[in-house]
């Protein structure tokens, strides 16, 4: 196994561990179009397997022997956990701002993208300019990815998305489409958001009402524009990267991230 393969596996182990833990925290029942692990095996097994994958990831990092790599990925693991705690503290909190939201998604998602993109040039012994450019590219790509993920939760096709549409609403997560809609809401609409999210009192048809309010204020479009802004920054970060088919792949990845439907 090459160093690149070993560290790619470490990143994926970290990623999968966070998904296992997320599904327990969120009480999710579906992941990638199938029953989630916590539904099949129970919460206990999901948490323990997630812990094992975290431990295995650190074993792979130590085996690589590069202290910079260990620092980058261990820091990312800690930041992801901090991001999840921030998200939990913002849950059902209607005073959550877009700055708060940005801090959450930078921590829980974009930090791992940044770390994964930084490790490559580190082990390739590239200069700091390239390492920094790839780290920033990953951060901006991760921000765009999570914003699109949050937009899709309100307008995607369930079969394509691979999980139930509206999970964020049911769980009281404060994401860009909702935060922007609340900021523009009238008193009646704010009362709706307070009941459904703030007071956790949801009824049949509330998701459809939330989608109607989100559509009224075009906050899905605004979310898409925000994601495109991060995507543009990610492409700009690649200016220091020499042209090649690999650079083109990185540019194409941004386009895919913005236009994806799942």
189-239 confidence digits (pLDDT tens): 999 999 999 999 999 999 999 999 999 999 999 999 999 999 999 999 999
Task: Please count the structural domains in the chain.
Answer: 2
Distance CA 142, CA 108 (A): 10
| Tokens 């130590």 -> residue | 62
Tell me the CATH number at 205: 1.10.600.10
Let me know whether 228 and 108 are in one domain.
yes
* Domain end position, chosen among 65, 95, 117: 65
Q: Are residues 134 and 224 in the same domain?
A: yes
Q: Map residue 31 onto helix, strand or coil.
A: strand
Convert the pLDDT of each residue in 106-161 to its tens digit.
999 999 999 999 999 999 999 999 999 999 999 999 999 999 999 999 996 665 66
Residue range of the domain that includes 180: 66-259
Q: How far is CA 36 from CA 17, 154, 187, in A?
A: 13, 20, 38
User: 29 and 56, same structural domain?
Assistant: yes
- For the whole model, what pTM was predicted? 0.93
Claim to verify: residue 177 and residue 124 sit in the same structural domain:
yes
Number of C-beta neighbours around residue 245 at 10 A? 6
């Amino acid at each position: 196994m090459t160093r690149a393969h070993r560290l790619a596996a470490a990143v994926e182990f970290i990623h999968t561990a966070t998904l296992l833990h997320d599904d327990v925290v969120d009480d999710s029942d579906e992941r990638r179009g199938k029953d989630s692990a916590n539904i099949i095996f129970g919460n206990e097994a999901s948490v323990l397997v997630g812990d094992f994958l975290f431990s295995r990831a650190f074993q792979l990092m130590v085996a690589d022997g590069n202290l910079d790599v260990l620092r980058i990925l261990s820091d990312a693991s800690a930041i992801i956990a901090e991001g999840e705690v921030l998200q939990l503290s913002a849950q059902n909190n209607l005073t959550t701002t877009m700055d708060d939201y940005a801090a959450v998604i930078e921590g829980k998602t974009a930090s791992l993208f940044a770390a994964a993109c930084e490790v490559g040039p580190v082990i390739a012994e590239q200069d700091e300019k390239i390492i920094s450019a790839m780290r920033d590219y990953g951060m901006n790509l991760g921000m765009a990815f999570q914003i699109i993920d949050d937009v899709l939760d309100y307008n995607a096709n369930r079969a394509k998305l691979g999980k139930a549409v509206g999970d964020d609403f049911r769980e009281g997560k404060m994401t860009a489409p909702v935060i922007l809609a609340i900021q523009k809401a009238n008193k009646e609409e704010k009362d709706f958001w307070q009941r459904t999210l703030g007071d956790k009192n949801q009824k049949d048809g509330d998701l459809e009402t939330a989608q109607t309010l989100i559509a009224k204020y075009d906050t899905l479009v605004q979310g898409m524009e925000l994601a495109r802004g991060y995507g543009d920054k990610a492409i700009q970060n690649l200016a220091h990267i020499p042209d090649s088919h690999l650079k083109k792949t990185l540019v194409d990845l941004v386009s895919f991230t913005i236009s994806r439907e799942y």
